[in-house]
Amino acid sequence: MYTASRPISGAGLGLRRSFMNELDALDHNPTDFLEVAPENWMEMGGILGKKFAHFAERYPMICHGLSLSIGSPAPLDEDFLIRLKRFFDKHNIRSYSEHLSYCSDDGHLYDLMPIPFTQEAVDHVANRIQRVQEILERPLIIENVSYYAAPGQEMSEIDFLNGVIEQANCDLLLDVNNIYVNSINHGYDAENYIKSIASNRIAYLHIAGHYDEADDLKVDTHGADIIDPVWDLLELTYQHHGVLPTLLERDFNIPSLDTLITEVDKIRHYQSIQERAHVATA
């Protein structure tokens, strides 16, 4: 039976420059792994380049990309992939994930655009994922994304996601907050969505905060504290799929490092609850 590669474990944090010095000054590692966007670091030299290399030696490091544009109609940027591979090899990057979306055609669109939920799109994306994995010589982990329109939809979001994963034979980065946001915006059952995913395909999880535009419109900003319904979905995910590596994302309105660590510790709390429950029923 297929099993997703999980080269990390525990609770992680997205590394941001604003707290690098403070995090480095700690005499312990308050997070089990770190995640960065490779585009922000792969050509970085000087002091910041040395700082990144230091963190990549101190912590297990994973990458979550921004510009692969896996769903684009334009050809894959294979030169970019070759540069990515060199960066991953140099810094012992444990895994690489990207968004199930696109952000370019003739040029970059500077946003993550929704791929039509069609069988034609499943075929297109799956073929491109396989090519990426050939060039990188490592798995590509695909993330379910938030979206605000579904042009040309012929199948449900969950059927599209599962179709891509199975046809490409790739792993999944399951973003719990994106499920919550989409379930409100598009009127589906978040719990059923989570239970409709094969446990053996999930490599790790993301969890984040969002912005409430209205009761029926949530915006995925990664700029707020995680709310209780999203924590509840994380707990449900652990209950149904087992305890999985989980990363806290915070991209805007970044609070103090202590506040971020408190949320990382809350992830660990939910993980430990489920681990104890598993032991008790074993």
For 164-194, the pLDDT digits (tens) are: 999 999 999 999 999 999 999 999 999 999 9
Structure tokens at 7: 């080269």
Bridge partners (DSSP) listed for residue 34: 13, 61
At 33 the three-state DSSP class reads strand
Backbone angles phi, psi at 246, to 5 degrees: -140, 130
Cα dihedral: 255, 268, 22, 52 (round 10): -110
pTM beyond 0.75: the answer is yes
Q: Which residues pair with 214 in a beta bridge?
A: 217
Evaluate whether 64 touches 28 at the Cβ level (below 8 Å).
Answer: no
Structural domains in the chain plus CATH codes: 11-281 (3.20.20.150)
Kindly give the pairing relationship between strand 102-104 and strand 108-113. antiparallel
162 CB contacts (<8 Å, ≥6 apart)?
196, 197, 198
pLDDT score, position 282: 63
Cβ pair 231, 269 in contact under 8 A: no
**Is the pLDDT confidence value at 132 over 90?**
yes
